[in-house]
């Protein structure tokens, strides 16, 4: 069924018809389409454009269609359904078949342009809320890891080389901050999205006495959009959502990359659960971190959909253009992909085991306390630049002997600088190196307790 055939004398070419249809993918927001139509009919009746009898027939009929689609009594996968070109014509056509002329009056005062813009905003708003819930669950998992590993020593890295000692809590605190920013971006996006386009018509409003503020209220929007031309052609909110998802996906990918590295035989910091690993078809010993690799790999897919939409939008003149139909398939795939990755990351972290002794041994064996050894000399009165050179010489000595810095004898140290005393060994312990770092955001116990308290407050917001 087509809603526009009055002035046409020929049938649409079969390939053009297939190219034009969108029901195969926009069916996913049938609930939003029905919700918008119920609000529109309610407002029309309040304004005297529809009779209360027609409104009641429309609302009852729409609710029946929604319930039948939900429980499978009505399906998009039928020959008759495939005659409709989009979700709007499917719902309106099905309604009209059931209730007659009242169904034909539903579209009074609106266009598919403002209708689809409203449907998409309602759908994206629901997905943003879903994204926020999933991210909150992931942040709770990360926070639990932080709480359980305040004292778990591990090496911190720069350039993928061991740098200074830190804790597992401190390391995961970095990811908590990333995911917290991701959630903030989603919350901000939702605020800007929450204005209602319905009633904008094709792009120039309508002559009917619509109450757009009432429609917005019925649909949970903060108010109506201010310019009807912008209303039907705006997809900024979708670009912003995909951008927020892309940044979140980047954070998931960075975490996955570290898990992949930590899972190697060379590191052995973590053991990924069998429930999030796969094996090899030829090598029986293999246990591969495929979920982490897929999360890392799918990041490019999410980026691609963002770039595709930006490219679609960059040359569109005002107001509505059919190009805007291309906002859906890529966006739906990006949303599905990113939300699945959040769920998988949460599950993978919840089931993952950390090899705590191995982490601490790795920190000791990588000269991560070299900076603290230099700081020790500074406290003894040695200028930092001189201390830096002295410790460099001791690192070379330890490398030649294949030992840690604190395995060197006091005589070895004094041969390079007389400033060393017996208390150097206490200063070089991993525990002491971490406990002295209590500036805001550092891994020391006081700083970490404050960071955990702040994280708990963020989760409550």
159 is known as an active-site residue: yes
162 phi and psi, to 5 degrees?
-60, 135
The 3-state DSSP composition of the chain as helix, strand, coil percent (nearest 5) reads 65, 5, 30
* Annotated catalytic residue within 24, 75, 280, 415: 280
Using DSSP's 3-state secondary structure scheme, residue 456 falls into helix
Please state, in angstroms and rounded to a whole number, the distance separating the CA atoms of residues 263 and 411: 39
Q: Where are the alpha helices (DSSP H) in 83-235?
A: 87-99, 101-104, 112-148, 168-193, 212-218, 228-233
Q: Which of 159, 277, 362, 388 is catalytic?
A: 159
Interior angle at CA 150, CA 144 and CA 155, nearest 5: 110
Which residues sit opposite 167 in a β-bridge?
153
DSSP letters, 301-314, are HHHHHHHHHHHHHT
- 107 annotated active-site: no
CB contact at 8 A, 100 and 86: no
| Residue 165 near residue 363 (C-beta atoms within 8 A) | yes
CA gap 441, 458 in Å, rounded: 15
Catalytic residues: 159, 280
């Amino acid at each position: 069924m087509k809603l526009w055939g009055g002035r046409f004398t020929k049938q649409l070419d079969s390939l053009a018809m297939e190219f034009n249809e969108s029901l195969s993918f926009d069916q996913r927001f049938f609930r939003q389409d029905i919700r918008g139509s119920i609000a529109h009919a309610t407002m029309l009746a309040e304004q005297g454009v529809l009779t209360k009898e027609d409104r009641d027939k429309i609302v009852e009929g729409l609710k029946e269609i929604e319930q039948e689609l939900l429980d499978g009594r009505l399906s998009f996968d039928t020959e008759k359904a495939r005659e409709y070109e989009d979700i709007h014509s499917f719902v309106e056509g099905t309604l009209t078949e059931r209730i007659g002329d009242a169904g034909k009056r539903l579209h009074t005062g609106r266009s598919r342009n403002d209708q689809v813009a409203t449907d998409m905003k309602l759908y994206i708003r629901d997905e943003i809320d879903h994204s926020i819930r999933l991210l909150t669950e992931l942040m709770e998992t990360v926070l639990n890891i932080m709480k359980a590993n305040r004292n778990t020593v591990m090496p911190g890295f720069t350039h993928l080389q061991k740098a200074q000692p830190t804790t597992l809590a401190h390391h995961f605190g970095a990811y908590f901050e990333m995911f917290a920013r991701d959630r903030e971006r989603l919350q901000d996006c939702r605020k800007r999205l929450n204005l209602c386009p319905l009633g904008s018509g094709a792009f120039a409003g309508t002559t009917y006495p619509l109450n757009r503020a009432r429609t917005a209220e019925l649909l949970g929007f903060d108010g109506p959009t201010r310019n009807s031309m912008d209303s039907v052609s705006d997809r900024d909110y979708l670009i912003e959502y995909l951008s927020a998802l892309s940044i979140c996906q980047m954070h998931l990918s960075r975490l996955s990359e570290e898990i992949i590295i930590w899972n190697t035989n060379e590191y052995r910091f973590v053991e990924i659960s069998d429930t999030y690993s796969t094996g090899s078809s030829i090598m029986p010993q293999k246990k591969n971190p495929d979920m982490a690799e897929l999360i890392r790999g799918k990041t490019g897919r999410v980026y691609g959909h963002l770039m595709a939409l930006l490219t679609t939008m960059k040359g569109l003149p005002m107001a509505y253009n059919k190009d805007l139909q291309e906002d859906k398939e890529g966006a739906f795939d990006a949303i599905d992909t990113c939300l699945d990755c959040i769920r998988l990351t949460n599950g993978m972290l919840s089931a993952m085991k950390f090899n705590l002794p191995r982490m601490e041994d790795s920190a000791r064996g990588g000269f991560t306390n070299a900076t603290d050894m230099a700081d020790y000399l500074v406290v003894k009165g040695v200028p930092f630049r001189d201390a830096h050179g002295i410790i460099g010489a001791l690192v070379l000595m330890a490398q030649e002997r294949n030992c840690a810095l604190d395995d060197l004898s006091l005589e070895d140290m004094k041969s390079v600088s007389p400033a060393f005393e017996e208390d150097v060994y206490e200063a070089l312990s991993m525990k002491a190196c971490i406990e002295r770092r209590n500036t805001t955001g550092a891994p020391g116990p006081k700083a970490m307790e404050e960071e955990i308290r702040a994280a708990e407050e963020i989760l409550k917001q």
